[in-house]
Amino acid sequence: MNGIKICVAIPTYNHSERLQEIIDTLPPKMSAIVVDDGSFPPISLKPGSADILRFEKNAGKAEALKAAFRLAQSRGFTHAITIDADGQHPPSMVPDFAAAAEKFPECLILGVRDFDNSAAPPARKYMNKFSNFWFRAETGIKLRDTQCGYRCYPLERISRLKLDFGGFVFEAELLVKAAWAGIGIREIPIPAIYDKASLAGSRYKPIADTAKFAAMNAKLFFASLLLTPKKLKKSAIKE
C-alpha cells in the first residue's frame, strides 16, 4: 500500500437522512471523519461508527473540509476521500478511489460523473462545462469534471497549497493551485445519484455560485496569462 493510510471525510450541514447509511456502506475498517457544520439538531450517529467534529455555527463546506484534513493528518492519515452527505456520491466507489490512491499516491484523484444520465440537472451540466473551460484556460489541462466533490486528496501535498478563496469555490481553486504546483491529477468514472432526495439536499445555487466562480476565475485566469509557469508554481505554494 506504499505506506498510505486512507480515511473518508464527510462534511454535513443538516443532512442526516442518509449519513449513517453512507458510513455503514464504507469498506470494513475504513475510518470516517464527519464534520457537523452547525447542524440543528446536531448530527447523531451510531456509537463508534465515525469520528464527529462539530462546529457550533455553520462555517461552510470549505472550512469543514479544512478541519477534516487537519484532523486526518493529525491522526496519521495520508489521504482523505471526500464524500458529500446529500446522497449523490455512492460510497460503494470508495474502494476504487483507494485503489487509485495506492497506485498514484502523489496524485489528486477526481470522480467524473455521468452527465449523459437523463436525470442530471441541466444547471449542473452547464456549471461543470463552465468550470472545465476555465480550468483548462488557467492550467492547460483538460479534465472532464472539475466540479465533483467525490475526490481523494494527498493530504501532505495539498496542505502546502496557498489558497485565497473559501466558500463554494474552495475546491475549484484547490484544483487549479494543485495543477500549478505540479500535483498530478487522475480521473475515475463514477455514477451520480440524481433523485429527489439528493437534489433537495444540495445547496448549490446556480446564479449566486456561478457569479462567485466567475470572480475567482477572472483572478486566476489573468494570473495564468501574466506569470510564467515557474512563478505560477511559486504563487501556488506556501512560503
Residue 136 domain flag: yes
**pLDDT band of 210, cuts 50, 70, 90:** confident
Residue 37 domain flag: yes
Whole-model pTM: value is 0.92
How far is residue 197 CA from its own chain's centroid?
A: 21
CATH of the domain at 151: 3.90.550.10
Residue 124 domain flag: yes
Among 163, 153, 167, 151, residue whose Cα is nearest residue 204:
167
- Mean pLDDT over 10-37 rounds to 94
**pLDDT band of 145, cuts 50, 70, 90:** very high
Say if strands 108-113 and 151-154 run parallel, antiparallel, or are unpaired: antiparallel
Long-range contact pairs involving 47-54 (C-beta distance under 8 Å, separation at least 24): 49/20, 49/23, 49/24, 50/10, 50/23
pLDDT in tens, 65-113: 999 999 999 999 999 999 999 888 999 999 999 999 999 999 999 999 9
- 155: alpha, beta or left? (left if phi > 0; alpha if psi -120 to 50): alpha
* Mean pLDDT lowest among 3-12, 78-87, 112-121, 143-152: 112-121
Residue 210 domain flag: yes
Residue 148 sits at φ, ψ, to 5 deg, of -65, 130
Place of cell 486566476: 220
Among 103, 101, 188, residue whose Cα is nearest residue 153:
101
**pLDDT band of 17, cuts 50, 70, 90:** confident
Query: Per the structure, how many domains does the chain have?
Result: 1
Q: What angle, 0 to 180 degrees and rounded to 10, lies between the N-to-C axes of helices 206-226 and 229-236?
A: 130
Residue 100 domain flag: yes
Give dist(CA 192, CA 180) in Å, integer.
Answer: 28
Residue 202 domain flag: yes
Residue 12 domain flag: yes
pLDDT in tens, 171-191: 999 999 999 999 999 999 998
Q: Is the pLDDT of residue 193 over 90?
A: no
pLDDT in tens, 123-132: 778 888 989 9
Q: Could you tell me the residue range of the domain that residue 199 belongs to?
A: 6-236
Q: Is residue 193 within a helix (H) or strand (E), and if so which, with residue range? A: none
Q: Is the pLDDT of residue 198 over 90?
A: no
Residue 1 domain flag: no
